[in-house]
Amino acid sequence: MKNEVKIHEVSSSSLKGRREFLKLSGMAVAGTGLFLAGCSYDEKTELNGSFNNTAKMGNNGHFPGVKNGIFDLGGNDFGVLTYAYALEQLEADFYTKVVNASGFSSTFNDIEKEVLTDLYHHEVIHREFFKTALTSGLPNPKHQLLPDLSFAYGNLNFNNRDQVLATAKALEDTGVAAYNGAGRLLSNPDYLLLAGKIVSVEARHASAIRSLINPNSADFAGDDVIDMTTGLDVSKNPSEVALIAATFITTPFTAKYLP
């Protein structure tokens, strides 16, 4: 892990970001089996401290696939899409468990059930879309397609309304931030548009979940996520998102070639 922290210092722009990484990375390592390797030292990366030149690689650069015994998401456009596929796997798994929980019909009111069932549908569709698109797009899908990941939700009680909605909020907000941060890593405009078609639906989800939690408020686009000066939503790099996702994903994987 020493090496990984050092790497992030290169890419991190602020002391605050650095501290957050250190804090979160400790949590991730203690809490889950995820091998969080962060970004590897790449000579181009090292030169200017920015990943823009290396991450936006189109069909060049690193494809997804097993490296040193662990699946790596890759670093080219397919790597970015595989990263999105991993997140959609997580969201789809979560809502599948939500709607199949024994107390689903009594835990939630009718509006909440409708919203959660829609989200289950949407996220499963997103997951299957990425699986199909990556299988047909990857040169060697047998070795390059991200396998089905496994998930664990700790002490989360799927029959507890507040816990389920709080987790949904975290996942949707993270999804929005992840897609917002990933757009710039894509070089193919068709992939960028597809990501754009999905991220706004994730943002609609996030808004609805926040509104269910606290309807009589501005939380649907709250000051905790929308910058109060610029009016901009959150954007996160894959390395930041991986730390959050690591709370739930138990299958080891790495993201060495994403910022």
Partner 1 sequence: MNILKFIESFTTENMMNVKGSRRDIFSQVGLVGKNAALTAIPFGIAALTSTKATAAVKDSTSGNPIAALQLALTLEYLEDEFYQLGLDSGVIPAGGREEKVFMQIAAHESDHVTFLQNGLGANSISKPTFDFTVGGVFDPFNNYAQFLALAQAFEDTGVRAYKGQAANLISTPDLLTAALRIHSVEARHASEVRRLRGLKGWITGSERGAGMPVATQAVYNGEEVTSQAGYDTAFLFGAAAGSEAYDEPLTGPEAVAIASLFIV
Write out the residues near partner 1 by the rule CB under 8 A.
11-14, 17, 48-50, 52-53, 56, 114-115, 118, 121-122, 124-126, 128-129, 132-133, 136, 176, 179-181, 183-184, 186-187, 189-190, 192-194, 196-208, 211, 215-218, 220-222, 226-235, 237
Measured from the CB atom, is 34 or 205 closer to partner 1?
Answer: 205
Name the H helices within 39-160: 43-48, 52-55, 77-100, 104-107, 110-137, 141-144
- In the complex, least distance from residue 186 CB atom to partner 1, rounded to whole angstroms: 8
- In the complex, least distance from residue 3 CB atom to partner 1, rounded to whole angstroms: 21
Can you say whether residue 67 is alpha, beta or left, with left for phi > 0 and alpha for psi between -120 and 50 degrees?
beta
Q: What does the alpha-carbon distance between residue 97 and residue 105 come to, in Å, rounded to a whole number?
A: 13
Measured from the CB atom, is 156 or 234 closer to partner 1?
Answer: 234
* Chain position carrying tokens 């992030």: 8
Q: Is the dihedral of CA 240, 243, 154, 27 positive or negative?
A: negative
Measured from the CB atom, is 174 or 251 closer to partner 1?
Answer: 174
Q: SS3 of 240, please?
A: helix
Helices (H) and strands (E) in the chain, counts: 11, 3
- In the complex, least distance from residue 230 CB atom to partner 1, rounded to whole angstroms: 5
Of 61, 64, 20, 25, give the one whose Cα is nearest residue 44: 61
- In the complex, least distance from residue 190 CB atom to partner 1, rounded to whole angstroms: 7
Measured from the CB atom, is 132 or 157 closer to partner 1?
Answer: 132
* Chain position carrying tokens 């929980």: 101
Measured from the CB atom, is 212 or 249 closer to partner 1?
Answer: 212
- In the complex, least distance from residue 13 CB atom to partner 1, rounded to whole angstroms: 3
- In the complex, least distance from residue 183 CB atom to partner 1, rounded to whole angstroms: 5
Where are any strands of DSSP class E within the chain? 65-67, 70-72, 253-254
Beta-ladder partners of 67: 70
Measured from the CB atom, is 107 or 237 closer to partner 1?
Answer: 237
